[in-house]
Each structure stands twice: as C-alpha cells, then as structure tokens.
Amino acid sequence: MTTEPSDLGPDPDMTAAELALGLLEGDERAAALRRMLADPAFAREVEGWRERLGGLFDDYREVVAPDAVAARLAAPAAPAQSRNRWPILALATALAATIALFFVMRPGPAPLPIPQIGQPHTMMVASLMMTDKSASVPAVIDMTTGEMSIPHADMAPAGKSAQLWMIGGDGVPKPMGLLAASGTSRMTLASDQRRQLTDGMTLAVSVEPVGGSPTGKPTGPVVASGKISLA
C-alpha cells in the first residue's frame, strides 16, 4: 500500500477501518467512498475490515439506546458560557457521551450501520471480483438518489456488452443495466430496483450481445461478482 498524501489523511488503513465501522461523516465519508471507486485495493481493504470487525461483536446482543441518552444526543448544544471556562469539564463530558454512545449502539451478531447524523443519504457498496481473480472493481450506490457508479474495467471483449445483474435469495438474476464500454459506468436505478437491493445480495456482471441480453436473463459467462453491503 502506498503512503502518498491524499484527502483521506496519512493513514489509509485506519480510514478503511473507520469506513467499515461507519464512523466517518461528511466530507471524510464522501472522500473515502470516492477512494473506493478509484482504488480497488482500498475497496478490498474496506471489505476485509468489515469481515474482520464483524466477528468481534458476535457475543454481544443488540441494546437499544435509553431514551435519556437519545434525547441528550438530539438536543441542541447549549450556548458557550465563556471562551475559556471549564475546558476540561467540557472535554470530559464530550468524551463520556461518545463512550456511552459506542456501548449502547454497538451491533449484535449481524453488523448494523451506525446512524450518520446530518447524512441522510444511504450508501451501499460492493467489490466485484473478477472470476480470474485479476482485479476487484468497486461499485457504489446512493440508495437515496439511485445513482450508481462503477469505474472502468475491461469486462467484455469487442463486439460484446457487459451487463450488471442483481441476484437475491431466490437465485433469479434481475437486470440492472449495461456497463459503459469505456470510462466510468454511471446509471440511475429505478425506485423498484432500489427496493429489491438488500444487504448481502449478490451483484454479477455477464458478457452479453451488444445492447444486452435478448432474453432478460444472463446468456454469456459471468466475469465478475460480489456481495453488496451498507457503507
């Protein structure tokens, strides 16, 4: 892994872990998602952190935050009394609230996304691993707007099209759209497609005739696949 400076900070490894835990907000979270699109190695690292960290909480049951804690977190901040008054007390209070929030909201057996205050958009990501294991291509979906982005990857030979599919628990592939022949693929998913997308569902890419499958089902070989999860 390189250590070149970027908008993700000096430690990309920690950024991958923080994204996997759902701890990033605002510009930091947006920068990390952009990095997943541009850097397949970083996307694989995020997925690896999700797998490693997901097992840490298997012994803990889900605990709902007490009403008093939720109310304090939702309440507006009190106006500052003085620029230099009680700095240590304020820092200790903030730290205690952060620790309390972590313990009451940490997930149970199934990792749950941590709510992002001020971030209304729900994001889902997947690492599409090529069947020959030569590369992993990240896919990012904004579930609020339906915008989906997949960086360029040579998935179909000349005279063919690469088509994206979603595969749920019933094992039936459903078409999502065609990938661009060059450059980043961008598409907007319809609301019914978004409703069908769930955590753990498989995304797959098959090679089809130009314009897509004539049958509505994959007719050519699958060249990449991966499971989708909440970012």
pLDDT tens sequence across 178-225: 999 888 899 999 988 889 999 999 999 999 999 999 999 999 999 999
| Cβ 197 vs Cβ 228: under 8 Å | yes
Compute the residue count for the chain.
231
* CA-derived radius of gyration, the chain: 21
Q: Provide the pLDDT for residue 110.
A: 45
In this structure, the strands spanning 147-150 and 136-142 are antiparallel
**pTM of the full predicted structure?**
0.51
Phi/psi for 125 (5° steps) reads -135, 155
Of residues 81 and 134, which shows the higher confidence score? 134
φ, ψ at 85 (rounded to 5°): -85, 130
Is the pLDDT reported for residue 131 higher than 60? yes
Q: Are 203 and 225 in contact (CB under 8 A)?
A: yes
Backbone angles phi, psi at 17, to 5 degrees: -65, -40
Residue 76: predicted pLDDT: 63
On the CB side of 216, CA atoms within 13 Å amount to 2
Q: What pLDDT does residue 97 have? A: 52
pLDDT digits (tens, 9 = 90+) for 64-85: 666 666 666 666 655 544 444 4
Which SS3 state, helix, strand or coil, does residue 152 take?
Answer: coil
